[in-house]
Amino acid sequence: MGSVSLKIGDGTAKFRRSTVCSSAANILMIFSVITTNLFALYAFTSSTKHTTNILYQPNKNLSLISEQVTLILREIDLSQKKLVQMEKHLLGYESLDLSTPHIANELKLFLNRHHLPLGKDSKTGITEMVSSVGHSCEKSSDLLSKYMGYKAYGHCPDDWSVAQKLILRGCEPLPRRRCFAKTISKVGLQPFPISLWKPFVGGSINNNKSIVNWSGFSCKSFECLNGEKGCFGCFDLVNGYENLRFVKSRSKNDFVVDDVLALGSGGIRIGFDVVGGGSGSLAAVMAHRNVTVVTSTLDVDAPFSEFIAARGLFPLFISLDHRFPFYDNVFDLVRAAGSGLDGVGDKEERLEFFMFDIDRILRPGGLFWLDNLCCDNEEKKKVMTRLIERFGYKKLKWVVGEKVGDDASGKSVVLLSAVLQKPVRV
């Protein structure tokens, strides 16, 4: 059994392990033993120097020994308390002060530690399980209490916007709740694979509000999503360019799926569209080629998750700061759109953390598809090039080109597109 932990530094709590603080425990226990022996040595050495007096004063000697034993026990107790505090500090699962009056009762119940029914696990050292909640939730405790302020066993409040705010503030994963989520009857959905490009019977839902389940947007149907600024045109699967995307190239930087799959020599089966997945069109195109693709989403500007699901595809609701919830070396292909990488941040270190997590989930020999990264300055291009060289990826395809930007200035921007192959590392 591997390491039993959930990420804490960037947003989650851990299972308590006796081995996590082994070094600190050893130091404290050694200190306690040495202190105990010194007190005992002092007590008995002093007594041997005054044997005659001790024989005549037995009550005084017993009293002295009793005091020394009391001091020793007190030191051991203090050392144990310090060890517990150090362990809690290192594990970090008590960052939320549950004694605060405004903390919702449901949140307190969820975060309480639960001891294993059979005691300590002999293989892992686990003694209790701690519920996962983002470490950054402490900074948004009021909002988190609002999210958890519901009636148990009742209907969950319409708080989609609250959950979204918490995730964007780094409070991820969100705690589980004991309430029933709002359910909507999904009438008129097409069967797969027709649903990939025609999700609804008749091609539209005629502004039927009964099958959508989102709040926070003025648009309450799939039809009016076509004008949403967050992904202009990507919800129109009939007209425009969306149904030709990844199939027909508009510039030398736009790679088509068949060319990318050919570089994988027939070994591409599962993929991850990590940023810039839009309405899930890459996953739809790949589905026609018997390749399963998971699409990462965040419903910031539009309800991407529900639209992707309506197409019969798999949306993964997760922020870019969250560690990808996949095992190591599992994906044959990972695509990252350059427009989405801008959301990772400007600092080189943040980009490195992000890219190392992509490298972790990509199998040796797998392909990393960097799609139209905007290199608006030479420094940004150098940073990405240096990072790719550090990984030692083989450049199967590398194209630098220019195109007119999307803003009103009309200036051209430099774009980098590449297909890179992960090496085998020993």
- Please write the tens of the pLDDT for every residue from 216-232: 677 777 777 776 666 77
Residue 225's pLDDT is 77
Distance CA 374, CA 381 (A): 8
DSSP per position, 9-32: TTS----EETTTTHHHHHHHHHHH
Work out the number of other CB atoms within 10 angstroms of the CB of residue 411.
10
Residue 227's pLDDT is 63
Q: Please answer whether residues 386 and 335 qualify as being in contact, where contact means their C-beta atoms are separated by less than 8 angstroms.
A: no
Residue 309's pLDDT is 92
- Residue 169 banded pLDDT, cuts 50, 70, 90: confident
**Whether residue 397 has pLDDT greater than 90:** yes
101-105, 338-342, 359-363, 365-369: which range is least confident on average?
338-342
Helix (H, G, I), strand (E, B) or coil at 142: helix
Question: What is the chain's length?
Answer: 426
- Residue 8 banded pLDDT, cuts 50, 70, 90: very low
Residue type, 321: D
Residue 84's pLDDT is 61
Residues with Cβ < 8 Å from 228, sequence gap 6 or more?
Answer: 217, 219, 235, 301, 302
**CATH number for domain 194-421, candidates 3.40.50.150, 3.30.390.50, 3.40.50.300, 3.90.1300.10:** 3.40.50.150
Which is more confident, 218 or 252?
Answer: 252
**DSSP code at position 184:** -
Provide φ and ψ at 343, rounded to 5°: -75, -10
Residue 46's pLDDT is 53
Residue 214's pLDDT is 72
Which is more confident, 296 or 234?
Answer: 296
**Whether residue 400 has pLDDT greater than 60:** yes
Residue 368's pLDDT is 96
- Please write the tens of the pLDDT for every residue from 104-153: 888 878 777 777 777 777 777 777 776 667 667 878 888 988 999 999 99
**Whether residue 360 has pLDDT greater than 90:** yes
**Whether residue 418 has pLDDT greater than 50:** yes
**Whether residue 271 has pLDDT greater than 70:** yes
Residue 89's pLDDT is 53
- Please write the tens of the pLDDT for every residue from 233-244: 888 888 878 889
Distance CA 185, CA 406 (A): 38
- Residue 76 banded pLDDT, cuts 50, 70, 90: confident
Residue 3's pLDDT is 39
Residues with Cβ < 8 Å from 385, sequence gap 6 or more?
Answer: none
**Whether residue 245 has pLDDT greater than 60:** yes
Which is more confident, 413 or 355?
Answer: 355
**Whether residue 11 has pLDDT greater than 50:** no
The tokens for 252 are: 């030398």
Percent of the chain past pLDDT 70, that is, above it, reads 72
Distance CA 154, CA 152 (A): 5
**Whether residue 179 has pLDDT greater than 60:** yes
CA dihedral 363, 365, 371, 374 (to 10 degrees): 90
Helix-helix angle 160-168:141-148, to 10 degrees: 150
Which residue, chain included where needed, has tokens 């119940």? Answer: 109
Residue 62's pLDDT is 72
- Please write the tens of the pLDDT for every residue from 22-54: 555 556 666 666 666 666 555 555 544 444 454
Mean pLDDT of the chain: 78
Instruction: Show the DSSP H helices in 92-137 as ranges.
Output: 105-111
The tokens for 410 are: 């009309």
Residue 324's pLDDT is 92
Helix (H, G, I), strand (E, B) or coil at 395: strand
Distance CA 306, CA 303 (A): 6
Percent of the chain past pLDDT 90, that is, above it, reads 27
Measure Cα distances from 369 to 263, 274, 388, 401 in Å. 11, 10, 12, 16
Residue type, 377: N
Which is more confident, 262 or 115?
Answer: 262
Residue 208's pLDDT is 47
Residue 24's pLDDT is 53
Residue 228's pLDDT is 60
Provide φ and ψ at 73, rounded to 5°: -65, -35
Q: Please answer whether residues 413 and 402 qualify as being in contact, where contact means their C-beta atoms are separated by less than 8 angstroms.
A: yes
The tokens for 294 are: 């998971």
Measure Cα distances from 402 to 276, 343, 372, 378, 382 in Å. 20, 21, 10, 14, 17
Q: How confident is the model over 354-374, as a mean pLDDT?
A: 93
Residue 375's pLDDT is 78
Which is more confident, 171 or 187?
Answer: 171
Burial class (CB in 10 A: 0-12, 13-18, 19+), 64: middle
Residue 311's pLDDT is 93
Which is more confident, 414 or 90?
Answer: 414
Distance CA 311, CA 273 (A): 16
